[in-house]
């Protein structure tokens, strides 16, 4: 029986992940690191109210078996460059470093398709830099998820993203070969496959969007 750690449980993927972990008999405890109390109660849950500006204060809490990191933001929600960098780069790196020091065995990170530490855009660059740090830390098991456009019920209204998803859903049957990885994918599918990877042995540690979909169907 395992202990899971979740960062980002109120988000699009994290919400599905939390619900699925509660139902999963492989996990006896789920530590949820949040700023505000979640809208869910269960005997498995340990709610840890977290000041993400001072993660060092939570070293003793970041202990367990599988750490799932689903925190993310947008330029709209974090227009300040320093804050955007803190959320997208500094926080995931710091949590991963603490988890490794505490002998957490597995780390699962929601990255992005085309993540690249040398990208000219901050979003893909920061995702790529986090990926590089996770590989350097050498967890016993690492799952880097690179979903494409995420489908699901968001709290905020992203008109441009919805239009993009609608367009890509229409042309999905035409997206073959290397283009399969830009097909839209449901957020619950990503959550389900993260847990599947955590509880099974896979040789790879980077999972492109189409590979996540294939694992979901296998």
Residue 173 has pLDDT above 70, yes or no: no
- Rounded distance between C-alpha atoms, residue 42 and residue 52, angstroms: 24
pLDDT value at position 108? 98
Q: pTM for the full model?
A: 0.88
Q: Where are the alpha helices (DSSP H) in 24-114?
A: 81-85, 91-101
Q: Poorest-confidence range of 36-50, 78-92, 179-193, 202-216?
A: 179-193
- 42 φ/ψ angles, rounded to the nearest 5 degrees: -165, 150
Average pLDDT over residues 130-152: 94
Residue 167 has pLDDT above 90, yes or no: no
Instruction: Single out the residue of 116, 184, 118 nearest to residue 147, CA to CA.
Output: 184
Maximal C-alpha separation, the chain: 50
Instruction: Single out the residue of 48, 16, 13 nearest to residue 30, CA to CA.
Output: 48
Which residues are within 8 A (CB) of 8 and not within 5 positions of it... i.e. 6 or more apart? Answer: 14, 68, 69, 70, 71, 72, 110
3-state SS record for 111-124: CCCCCCCCCCCHHH
Range of the domain at 147: 2-217
**Position 74 confidence tier, pLDDT thresholds 50, 70, 90:** confident
Residue 169 has pLDDT above 90, yes or no: no
- Rounded distance between C-alpha atoms, residue 194 and residue 21, angstroms: 10
Residue 62 has pLDDT above 70, yes or no: yes
Distance, CA of 148 to chain centre: 13
Q: Specify the number of domains making up the chain.
A: 1
Can you give the CATH number for the domain in which 127 is found? 3.40.50.720
Model pLDDT for residues 98-139, shown as the tens digit of each residue: 999 999 999 999 999 899 999 999 999 999 999 999 999 999
Average pLDDT in the chain: 89
């Amino acid at each position: 029986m395992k202990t899971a750690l979740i960062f980002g449980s109120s988000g699009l993927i994290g919400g599905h992940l939390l619900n699925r972990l509660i139902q999963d008999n492989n996990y006896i405890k789920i530590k949820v690191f949040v700023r505000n109390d979640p809208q869910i109660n269960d005997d498995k849950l340990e709610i840890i109210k977290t000041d993400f500006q001072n993660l060092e204060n939570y070293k003793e809490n970041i202990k367990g078996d599988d750490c799932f990191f689903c925190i993310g933001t947008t330029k709209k929600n974090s227009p300040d460059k320093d804050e955007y960098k803190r959320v997208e780069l500094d926080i995931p790196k710091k949590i991963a470093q603490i988890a490794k020091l505490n002998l957490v065995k597995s780390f699962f990170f929601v990255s992005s398709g085309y993540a690249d530490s040398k990208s000219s855009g901050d979003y893909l660059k920061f995702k790529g830099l986090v990926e590089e740090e996770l590989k350097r830390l050498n967890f016993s098991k690492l799952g880097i998820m690179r979903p494409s456009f995420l489908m699901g019920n968001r709290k905020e209204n992203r008109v441009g993203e919805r239009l993009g998803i609608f367009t890509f859903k229409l042309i999905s049957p035409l997206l073959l070969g290397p283009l399969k990885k830009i097909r839209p994918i449901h957020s619950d599918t990503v959550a389900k496959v993260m847990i599947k990877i955590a509880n099974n042995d896979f040789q790879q540690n980077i999972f492109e969007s189409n590979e996540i979909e294939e694992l979901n169907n296998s």
